[in-house]
Structure 1
Amino acid sequence: MIATFLFRYARTAALAAALLAVSGFGSTVMAQSVAAMVNGEAITNFDIEQRIKLTKLTTQKAISRQEALEELIDDKLKVKEAKRYGLDMSSSDVDGAYGNMASRMRMNPEQLSKTLEGHGIRPETLKNRIKADMTWGNLVRGRFQSNLLVPEKDLAGIEPSDTKEGESFEYLVRPIVLIVPRGSPSSAIEARRKEAELLRSRIQSCDEAQSLFRSMRDAAIRDQLTKTSADLPPALRELLDKTPVGKLTPPEVTKQGVEMVALCSRKPTKADTPAKRAAREKIYNQKYEAKSKSYLQEVRKGAMIEIRK
C-alpha cells in the first residue's frame, strides 16, 4: 500500500516537473533564484540575503546586495583556488572552528546555532564564511611565506623611550588551581581564596609549590610554561614583574576555582619586546592584506563569473 502510494507520488511529481519545464515556468523560477555562477557554481538570491543578515549581526553594519554578492563570489574563488593546491577543510574541521568561535563567545555550538537562527540565519551561512576565510588564509601564508616575513630593519626605531617597556623577559611559570566545584556558595569560594593566601605566604620556591600542591586534594599544579614579555597581556606581565622569583601571584577566582601562578624564574631575553611584537604583527598584517588582495584579483581575472539579472 505504502509502496504503491510512493510510486504514484513520484510519478505525479515527475509529471508536474515536466509540465513546468515545458511551460517555461520552472526555468524562470530557477533563473530568478540564481544570482550568479562562479566557475559553474551557483550563488542564489537566498545566499545573498543570508550574507546581508550575517554581516548585519556580526558587524552592526548594513551592506548592499551588490557588496554581499561580491563577498560570496570571492568566497567561492578562495575555496576553489585553495583546492587547486590541495588545501581544503573537512566538515569536522569547519565544525571545530565553529565550536571554537562559540566558545570564545561563551556559548556551545548549539547555542550559537540557535542565536543565528533567531536572526533568520542558517548556521551553514557562517560555516561557509569560516571555511573560505580559513582556507584562503592558509593558502596565502603557505604560498607567500617568504614575502610576508618582517626583517629587523623594518623594526628599527620603534622601541619606546620608557626603558622598562623596552626590556623583554623570559618567564618560567607553573599555573596552580585550588578547585571549587561549580555551583558552590560564595562562602566556599571565599574559604578557598583565604586558603590560597595562606599557602602563598608559605611558598618560597617552585619545588616547594610542586611538592605541596601535588599532595593536596582538590588542587593541581600544571607543567612548566615558558613565556616572554611579548606573549603576555600587560596586566599579567606587570604582575609577574612585581612577583619575587619562587613566590606565587595573588589568588584570582575563575571558573575552575582559585588560581595562582608560581614564578620559577625571570631573566632578560633578546626576544621581541611587547612594542616590537606589536609592530611586527602590524607590518605582517599589512603585507598579508596587500598580498591577499593582489592574489585574489589575479584569481578573479582567470575565473568564469556570470552575473544574472
Structure 2
Amino acid sequence: MTNTLRNRFLGLAALAICTTIVAAPASAQQVVARVNGDPITAVDLAQRLRLLQVSGGGKAATRQAALDELIEQELKLQTARRYKIEVSEAEINQQLASIASRVGGDIAAFGRQLQGAGLSLSSFKRKIQADIAWNGIVRGKFQSRLQVRERDVTDAIRAKGQNDGTAYTFTLRPVLLVVPNGSNPAVYESRKREAEGLRARFQSCDEGLQLARGLRDVVVREQLTRSSADVGAKQREILESTAVGKLTPPDITSSGIELFAVCNKVAGKGSVAETDMRQQMMGERISDEGKKYLRELRRQSSIQIL
C-alpha cells in the first residue's frame, strides 16, 4: 500500500474515531464525568483517547487530556444553547461535505463508510454543529479583538519573506476511477495507469469529460469552484501549474484514483500570501480568545469527575 493511500485511510480513521458507537451496551454507557449535570460516558472517553492517539502519531494520550477535551466540548454545546444559537442542517452538511471530500467521497459515501464501521453519522454531525456554533460565539462575543489590519498582514508577510503570488479562482470537475474497498495495491496501480492514459488524451473539458464518462467504472462529479485560499499549498501549486482544459496528476484516495479537470482559472484581486496570512492571523486570534473564554467557563461551571 502506498504512503498516500495509507495516509488517506488514517485520515478517515481519525474522522471516524471521534464519533460515538451507535448501539453500545448499557455497561459501556457508564458516566465518567458530568458538566453542569450533562454526562460524559465511558464510550465518549474511550473514543476520544483513540482519536488523540491517532492524531498524535500513535503516542498514547492520557485520560485527563481526553477528559479535558470532552469537558470543553460540553461547555461549547451548553454555551450555544444559552445564546440560542442554532446551526442549520445546510451549514452542517456543507462542513460535512468538505470533510468527506478530503477523504475522497461525498456525504452519502462518507456516511456509508461510517456505518460500515459501526459508527453514527448523526453523532458526527452533532460534533460539527458544536464546532460551528462555537466559532460563531467567539466571533460575535470578541469581534473587536479579532480585527486584522492590512498593515499587520503586510508586516507579517515581510517578516516571513514570503512572495506575493497571484490568487486564482478555479473551476474544477473531479474525475474518479473507482476502486472497490479492500482491493490490493496492484489494483490501485493498474487504475492509476489508466488515469495517466486518460490524462494524456484529455485536451478540453467538453470533450475530455465525455471521454472519461465512457470509461469503465469512472464517475465525473459535479462542478466545484475553489479559490487559492481554499486549498493547501501543495494542491494550490498543482492547480496553478495545470493548464485550463487539462487534468491534474492522479491521486490515490480511499475511493479510488482521483483527478481534477481544470475547466477555468481566473486571477483575482490581492495575493495568495495576503489571503493566507489574513486567514492565519484571524484563526490564531479566534483560537486564543476561544481558549481564554473556555477557561472562564470552566471556572464558573460545576464539573464532576466520577
Which bin holds the TM-score, normalised by the shorter protein?
0.5 to 0.7
Q: Please give the per-residue CA displacement for 1:150-186, whole angstroms capped at 9, x wherever unaligned.
A: 2212112344699993121434544374x75656897
User: Would the alpha carbon gap of residues 252 and 91 (structure 1) be closer, same or farther in structure 2, given more than 3 Å must change?
Assistant: closer
Q: Secondary structure of 2:269's match?
A: coil
1:284 aligns with 2:282: yes
Equivalences for residues 151-230 of structure 1 within 5 A = 151-159=149-157, 165-175=163-173, 177=175, 180=177, 182=179, 190=193, 193-194=196-197, 196-200=199-203, 203=204, 209-210=205-206, 212-213=207-208, 218=214, 227-230=226-229
User: Would the alpha carbon gap of residues 272 and 144 (structure 1) be closer, same or farther in structure 2, given more than 3 Å must change?
Assistant: farther
Residue aligning to 2:261? 261
Computing the radius of gyration from Cα coordinates, the structure with the larger value is 1
| Contact map agreement 1:155 1:276 (CA 8 A) in 2 | yes
What TM-score results when the alignment is normalised by the length of structure 1? 0.57
Q: Secondary structure of 2:155's match?
A: coil
Residue range with higher mean Cα deviation, 253-262 or 53-62: 253-262
User: Would the alpha carbon gap of residues 90 and 58 (structure 1) be closer, same or farther in structure 2, given more than 3 Å must change?
Assistant: farther
Query: 1:81 Cα deviation (Å)?
Result: 1.3
Which whole-Å CA distance do the structure 1 matches of 2:62 and 2:127 have between them?
A: 16
User: Would the alpha carbon gap of residues 111 and 160 (structure 1) be closer, same or farther in structure 2, given more than 3 Å must change?
Assistant: farther
| Contact map agreement 2:177 2:256 (CA 8 A) in 1 | yes
Query: 1:82 Cα deviation (Å)?
Result: 1.0
User: Would the alpha carbon gap of residues 276 and 64 (structure 1) be closer, same or farther in structure 2, given more than 3 Å must change?
Assistant: same
User: Would the alpha carbon gap of residues 189 and 84 (structure 1) be closer, same or farther in structure 2, given more than 3 Å must change?
Assistant: closer
Residue aligning to 1:140? 138
Q: Please give the per-residue CA displacement for 1:226-262, whole angstroms capped at 9, x wherever unaligned.
A: 5444344444444454455x55246636657674534
Which whole-Å CA distance do the structure 2 matches of 1:46 and 1:141 have between them?
A: 32
Query: 1:130 Cα deviation (Å)?
Result: 5.7
| Contact map agreement 1:170 1:229 (CA 8 A) in 2 | yes
User: Would the alpha carbon gap of residues 88 and 176 (structure 1) be closer, same or farther in structure 2, given more than 3 Å must change?
Assistant: closer
What TM-score results when the alignment is normalised by the length of structure 2? 0.58
Query: 1:63 Cα deviation (Å)?
Result: 1.5
Identity of aligned residues (%): 25
Q: Which among 295, 298, 301 is matched to residue 300 of structure 1?
A: 298
Q: Secondary structure of 2:168's match?
A: strand
User: Would the alpha carbon gap of residues 223 and 76 (structure 1) be closer, same or farther in structure 2, given more than 3 Å must change?
Assistant: closer
When the two chains are superposed, the root-mean-square deviation of aligned CA atoms in Å is: 4.9
Q: Secondary structure of 2:62's match?
A: coil
Which whole-Å CA distance do the structure 2 matches of 1:87 and 1:173 have between them?
A: 34
Which whole-Å CA distance do the structure 1 matches of 2:179 and 2:133 have between them?
A: 38
| Contact map agreement 1:148 1:284 (CA 8 A) in 2 | yes
Q: Secondary structure of 2:75's match?
A: helix
Which whole-Å CA distance do the structure 2 matches of 1:308 and 1:231 have between them?
A: 41
Q: Which among 32, 35, 39 is matched to residue 38 of structure 1?
A: 35
Residue aligning to 1:76? 74
Q: Which among 108, 115, 131 is matched to residue 110 of structure 1?
A: 115
Uncovered stretches (5+) of structure 2, i.e. residues with no partner: 1-29, 105-109, 181-186
Query: 1:293 Cα deviation (Å)?
Result: 2.0
User: Would the alpha carbon gap of residues 81 and 56 (structure 1) be closer, same or farther in structure 2, given more than 3 Å must change?
Assistant: same
Uncovered stretches (5+) of structure 1, i.e. residues with no partner: 1-32, 115-121, 204-208
